[in-house]
Amino acid sequence: MTATPGATVTTLGFERFVSDRGRRLWRAAWLLTGDSQHAEDLVQTALAKCYGRYDAIGDDEGFEAYVRTAIYRTFVSWWRRMSWRNESPTEVLPDAGSPGTGEASTLRLDLVRALEGLPRMQRAVLVLQYFEDRSIADIAEQLGIAPGTVKAHSSRGRAALRDSVHLANLEVTP
C-alpha cells in the first residue's frame, strides 16, 4: 500500500480495516435491513460514528466488535425515524426472480421477508443469535439490554417467525 501525501496512519489503517472487513459488516446490516442500499447506509453511519475510536481500540478484532455494536444500536434506534426507508406502496409487484433461481435463493428471500415483519429489537436479537452466533450475554452487552430481555425478544421473534406467512409453506425435516 502506498501512502498518499498527508494521509495519517489512522486513515490508512481504517481504510485497510474497511477493505478487509467491510463485506462482513455489510452482510450483518443486510440481514437487519433486508435491503442492500439501506445496509450500506447503516454500515457507513456506524463507521462514521466509530472512526474516531480506531486508534484508541488498537486492534481490528476489537474495533470490528465496536462497529458491530454501533450497527445494531443504530438499526434499533432508526425505528424513531422511519423516513430513512422511504418506502411507498405499489400496486404492481416486481418480477419474482429471473429464471433458474433455486430453492435456496427463494428460501433466503422468504426468510428476509419474514425477518422484515419483526419489530427491530426482535430482528436484531435473532440476527445476532442465529446468524452471528452470539451468546445471550454478548447480545445483551452489544444492544445495551438485560439478558432476560434478550431471551424475551428471542422467544417472541421465533414465535412470530413460526407464524409468518412467508415461511408458512416451508416443510421442516427432522
Domain count of the chain? Answer: 2
What does the DSSP 8-state code read for residue 130?
I
For residue 3, pLDDT beyond 60: no
Is the separation of the CB atoms in 136 and 151 below 8 Å? yes
pLDDT for 126: 92
CATH number assigned to the domain comprising residue 131: 1.10.10.10
Domain boundary among 37, 56, 85: 85
For residue 78, pLDDT beyond 90: no
Tell me the pLDDT band of 145, cut-offs 50, 70 and 90.
very high
Domain membership flag for residue 90: no
The mean pLDDT of 84-112, rounded to a whole number, is 59
Q: Model confidence over 119-143: pLDDT tens digits?
A: 989 999 998 998 888 999 999 998 8
2: three-class secondary structure by DSSP: coil
Other Cβ atoms closer than 10 A to 49 = 15
pTM of the predicted structure, to 2 decimals: 0.59
